[in-house]
Amino acid sequence: MPSSPIKADPADPAHARLAANASTQRGDPSSTVADRADTAVRQVEPFTAGALERVKARGGPSSEENPREPARFLTTFLQGVRIAGRSRTGRRFADDALTAAMRLSDRAKRQPRHRTAPSRRLRRTIVLYRSIQKENTMELHLKDKVAVVTGASKGIGLAVVERLAGEGAKVVAGSRTSTPELDALAAKHDVTVVSVDLSTAEGAERLVQQAVEKYGRIDVLVNNVGAAEPRESFLKVTDEDWRRIFDLTFFSAVRTSRAALPHLVQAGGGSIVNISSINARLPFPTVVDYSAAKAALTNLNKALSEEFAPQGVRVNAVSPGPVRTPFWTAPGAFADATAAAAGVTAQEALDVVLPQSMGISSGRITEAHEVADLTLFLASPVAGNITGAEIIIDGGQVKTL
pLDDT at residue 138, rounded to an integer = 73
Q: Are strands 323-324 and 220-223 parallel, antiparallel or unpaired?
A: unpaired
Q: Which long-range contacts (CB under 8 A, 24 or more apart) does 294-301 make?
A: 294/226, 294/249, 294/250, 294/319, 296/246, 296/250, 297/223, 297/249, 297/250, 297/253, 298/274, 298/390, 300/250, 300/253, 300/254, 300/257, 300/274, 301/274, 301/276, 301/388, 301/390
pLDDT at residue 29, rounded to an integer = 39
pLDDT bucket at 101, cuts 50 / 70 / 90: low
CA 279 to chain centre: 21
Which of 38-42, 55-59, 102-106, 232-236: highest mean pLDDT? 232-236
Q: Between 334 and 222, name the one with better pLDDT.
A: 222
Mean pLDDT, residues 149-176? 96
**87 pLDDT higher than 60:** no
d(CA 102, CA 115): 14
CA torsion angle 368 373 379 383 (round to 10) = -140
Q: How many CB atoms lie within 10 A of CB 77?
A: 32
Of 172-186, 311-325, 344-358, which gets the smallest average pLDDT?
344-358
- 215 is annotated as an active-site residue: no
Which residues have C-beta within 8 Å of that of residue 139, sequence separation ≥ 6? 382
Which residues have C-beta within 8 Å of that of residue 243, sequence separation ≥ 6? none
pLDDT at residue 95, rounded to an integer = 57
Q: Between 100 and 60, name the one with better pLDDT.
A: 100
The neighbouring-strand residues paired with 223 are 274
d(CA 77, CA 69): 12
Mean pLDDT, residues 201-223? 97
pLDDT bucket at 97, cuts 50 / 70 / 90: low
What are the tens digits of pLDDT across the range 46-85?
Answer: 544 554 454 445 444 443 444 444 455 555 555 554 444 4
d(CA 47, CA 50): 5
Q: Are 371 and 127 in contact (CB under 8 A)?
A: no
pLDDT at residue 126, rounded to an integer = 56
Average confidence score pLDDT of the chain: 79
Q: Are strands 270-275 and 191-195 parallel, antiparallel or unpaired?
A: unpaired
Q: Between 393 and 93, name the one with better pLDDT.
A: 393
pLDDT at residue 153, rounded to an integer = 95
Mean pLDDT, residues 20-24? 44
Domains parsed from the chain with CATH numbers: 13-136 (no CATH), 146-322+358-393 (3.40.50.720)
User: What stretch of H or E contains 367?
Assistant: strand 366-367
Q: What is the DSSP string of 45-57?
A: HHHHHHHHHHHHH
d(CA 285, CA 231): 7
| Letter string b/e over residues 153-173, b meaning 16 or more CB atoms within 10 A of that residue's CB | bbbbbbbbbbbbbebebbbbb
pLDDT bucket at 337, cuts 50 / 70 / 90: confident
- Burial class, 43, CB count within 10 angstroms (exposed 0-12 / middle 13-18 / buried 19+): buried
d(CA 26, CA 90): 6
pLDDT at residue 103, rounded to an integer = 57
d(CA 291, CA 279): 5
pLDDT at residue 381, rounded to an integer = 96
Q: What are phi and psi of 324, to 5 degrees?
A: -75, 85
pLDDT bucket at 17, cuts 50 / 70 / 90: very low
Which one from 290, 308, 327, 328 is the annotated catalytic residue? 290
pTM recorded for the entire structure: 0.69
d(CA 376, CA 273): 9
Q: What is the DSSP string of 277-328?
A: -GGGTS--GGGHHHHHHHHHHHHHHHHHHHHHGGGTEEEEEEEESSEESHHH
pLDDT bucket at 125, cuts 50 / 70 / 90: low
d(CA 81, CA 78): 5
